[in-house]
């Protein structure tokens, strides 16, 4: 990934996508730039991103900040913190589209139950999702529906048998089905 800076001024690039929990711990992260070479550097970056954004309210709209010559766009849902980092000359709205795509896809894949335990339970889906959004810095897709469908077609058994779901999950799903059928 040493060549990250070569196509600097032409292509929009993503430096990393982070999914942290409400204490700043990793749920799933993916770095596309060699700016953070070691795990220690990555952890330090995550820590500073987390502490700097912790106090803000990024629950309704995605928020944005800048530090270390990087732009960070973030959004919090329940106990999950979503982050996308890009270079400081990047178009903020492109990074925002990546974050939104990631968030939408995760929401779909976790069937609207977006929280840490659900994310860990379906970590394979989250990792595949990251893999489908960005390939070594290049944006592959920003539409959450498309990303989720790419991931979902490959899940081991698309409709997980009801017996394996917890009661609350099953209820949530049922409620969702009900609302959908009522609305349609």
Partner 1 sequence: MAQPLIKKDDDRDDESEYSPFLGIEKGAVLQEARVFNDPQLDPRRCSQVITKLLYLLNQGESFTKVEATEVFFSVTKLFQSKDNGLRRMVYLMIKELSPSADEVIIVTSSLMKDMNSKTDMYRANAIRVLCRITDGTLLTQIERYLKQAIVDKNPVVASAALVSGIHLLQTNPEIVKRWSNEVQEAVQSRAALVQFHALALLHQIRQNDRLAVSKLVSNLTRGTVRSPLAQCLLIRFISQVIQESGATQTGDRPFYDYLEACLRHKAEMVIFEAARAITELSGVTSRELTPAITVLQLFLSSSKPVLRFAAVRTLNKVAMMHPMAVTNCNIDMESLISDQNRSIATLAITTLLKTGNESSVDRLMKQITNFMSDIADEFKIVVVEAIRSLCLKFPLKFRSLMNFLSNILREEGGFDYKKAIVDSIVILIRDIPDAKESGLLHLCEFIEDCEFTYLSTQILHFLGVEGPKTSDPSKYIRYIYNRVILENATVRASAVSTLAKFGAMVDSLKPRIFILLRRCLFDSDDEVRDRATLYLNTLGGDGAVVETDEDSKEFLFGSLDVPLSNLETSLKNYEPSEEPFDINSVPKEVKSQPLAEKKATNKKHPGLDTPLAAPSTGVDAYEKLLSSISEFSSFGKLFKSSAPFELTEPETEYAVNVVKHVYDGHIVFQYNCTNTIPEQLLEDVTVMVDASEAEEFSEIASKPLRSLPYDTPGQTFVAFQKPEGVPAVGKFSNNLRFIVKEVDPSTGEVVEEDGMEEDYQLEDVDVVAADYMLRVGVSNFRNAWESIGADFEKVDEYGLGPRESLTEAVNAVISLLGMQPCEGTEVVPNNSRSHTCLLSGVFIGGLKVLVRLQFGLDSSREVAMKLAVRSEDEAVSDTIHEIVASG
Residues in contact with partner 1 by CB under 8 A are 3, 6-7, 9-12, 22, 26, 28-29, 39, 42-43, 52, 54-57, 59, 61-69, 73, 76, 78-79, 91-94, 96-97, 117, 120-121, 123-124, 127-128, 131, 135-136, 138-142, 150, 153-157
Contact present, 144 and 104 (Cβ < 8 Å): yes
Q: How far is the CB of 109 from partner 1 (least distance, A)?
A: 13
3-state SS string for the chain? CHHHHCCCCCCCECCEEEEEECCCCEEEEEECCCCCCCHHHHHHHHHHHHHHHCCCCCCCCCEEEEECCEEEEEEEECCEEEEEEEECCCCHHHHHHHHHHHHHHHHHHCCCCCCHHHHHHCHHHHHHHHHHHEECCEECCCCHHHHHHHHHCCCCCCCCCHHHCCHHHHHHHHHHHHHHHHHC
Residue 180 CB, shortest distance to partner 1, in Å, is 25
Beta bridge partners of 16: 31, 85
Closer to partner 1 by CB, 124 or 176: give it. 124
Q: How far is the CB of 89 from partner 1 (least distance, A)?
A: 9
Nearer to partner 1, 30 or 107 (CB): 30
> Residue 41 or 181: which CB sits closer to partner 1?
41
CB-nearer residue toward partner 1: 69 or 181: 69
Report the residue number, 108 or 177, with the smaller CB distance to partner 1. 108
Please state the φ and ψ torsions of residue 151, each to the nearest 5 degrees.
Answer: -75, -40
Minimum gap (Å) between residue 127 Cβ and partner 1: 6
- Count of Cβ atoms closer than 10 Å to residue 36 Cβ: 17
CB of 70 vs partner 1, minimal distance in Å: 10
Smallest gap from residue 11 Cβ to partner 1 (A): 5
Nearer to partner 1, 2 or 183 (CB): 2
């Amino acid at each position: 990934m040493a060549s990250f800076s070569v196509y600097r001024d032409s292509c929009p690039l993503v430096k990393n996508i982070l999914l942290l929990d409400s204490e700043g711990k990793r749920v799933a992260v993916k770095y596309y730039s060699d700016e953070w070479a070691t795990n220690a550097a990555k952890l330090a970056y995550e820590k500073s991103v987390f502490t700097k954004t912790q106090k803000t309210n990024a629950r309704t709209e995605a928020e944005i900040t800048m530090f270390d010559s990087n732009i960070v766009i973030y959004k919090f849902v329940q106990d999950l913190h979503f982050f996308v980092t890009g270079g400081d000359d990047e178009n903020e709205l492109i990074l925002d589209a990546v974050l939104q795509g990631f968030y939408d896809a995760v929401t779909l894949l976790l069937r609207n139950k977006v929280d840490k335990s659900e994310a860990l339970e379906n970590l394979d889906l989250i990792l595949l999702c990251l893999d489908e959004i960005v390939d070594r810095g290049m944006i592959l897709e920003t539409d959450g529906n498309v990303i989720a469908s790419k991931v979902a077609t490959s899940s081991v058994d698309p409709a997980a048998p009801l017996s394996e779901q917890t009661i609350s999950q099953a209820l949530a799903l049922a409620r969702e089905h009900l609302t959908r059928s009522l609305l349609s």
